[in-house]
Amino acid sequence: MMTYTTLSGLIASVKTDEPVAAAAAAAAGGEATARSVPLSADTNVRIAASFDHEECGSSSTPGAGSTFLQDVFTRLCPDAVAITRAIRKSVLVSADMAHAVHPNYPALHEENHRPAMHAGVVIKCNANQRYATTSVSAFLFRQLAAEAAVPVQNFVVRQDMGCGSTIGPIVATRLGMRTVDVGLPQLSMHSCREMCGTDDAEHGAKFFTYMYGRFASLDAAAEHCD
C-alpha cells in the first residue's frame, strides 16, 4: 500500500517515481478525450502507457523492452504501411521524474541546469542518448508547454558524472518514434520517502491534457513551415 503526506505543497511518499507522472498522464488522457470530438469522428489516437520493471532494465514481458506497445498499434490498425506512417506522425513523451537540485549539494548539478520543485516540467537531454530528447522533440514540447502556460526547466547531467536513463531510448529505438524525455522534479529519488511538489504534479497533468488535444495540429503546422 502506498501512503503519502502533504506539507506546504509537498508530496512525501514511497514510490513517487514514477507513479506521479503516470497518474498525471492517465488523468490527462481521460480529460482530453472528454473534451475532444466524438471518438467516431476523432482522427487522433491518444495512448497513456505504463510499464513494469523500469528500474531494473525493462527487459521483460511487461517491460518497455517488450513488443507490447508495438503490438497494440498493430491491433489498432493491421495495415503495416498505415502504422508506419502513423508512427512517423506521432510523438512519445517519456514521462519520468527528475532530480531536483538538493539545497545541501547544489554543486552536483551543472550551474545552468538545476531543476527546482514547483518550477515546472523538466526536459532531460544527454549527448550519449541516455535520454531520447532531440532538438525537434524538445521544440515541440516547449511550444506545447508555452501554449499551455506550463513552465519548463532544463536538465543536463554534469560531464564528469554518470547519467541514468529511462524507457525513452528503449521505446524510441523499438518504434522509431520521435521522443522527448521529461520529468517532474523531486528530491530523495529511490529512497524510502521521496518528495516532490504538488505544483509540479499539476504542471504535468496540465501539459499532458493540452498535448493530447493540440499536438497533431501543432505538428502539422510545424511540418509546413519554411
What pTM was computed for the model?
0.90
How many degrees, rounded to 5, is the angle at CA 23 between CA 149 and CA 128? 75
Q: Long-range pairs for 128-131 at CB < 8 Å and ≥24 separation?
A: 128/163, 129/169, 130/157, 130/163, 130/164, 130/165, 130/169, 131/94, 131/163, 131/165, 131/166, 131/168, 131/169, 131/181
What is the average per-residue pLDDT within 112-125?
Answer: 96
Q: What is the homologous superfamily of the domain 4-37+91-223 according to CATH? A: Zn peptidases (3.40.630.10)
How many degrees, rounded to 5, is the angle at CA 111 between CA 105 and CA 117? 65
Question: Do 70 and 90 touch, CB atoms closer than 8 A?
Answer: no
pLDDT at 226: 47
Question: Do 12 and 194 touch, CB atoms closer than 8 A?
Answer: yes
pLDDT at 3: 52
Percent of the chain past pLDDT 70, that is, above it, reads: 96
List the domain boundaries for the chain.
4-37+91-223
What is the average per-residue pLDDT within 159-164?
Answer: 88
Question: Do 13 and 194 touch, CB atoms closer than 8 A?
Answer: yes
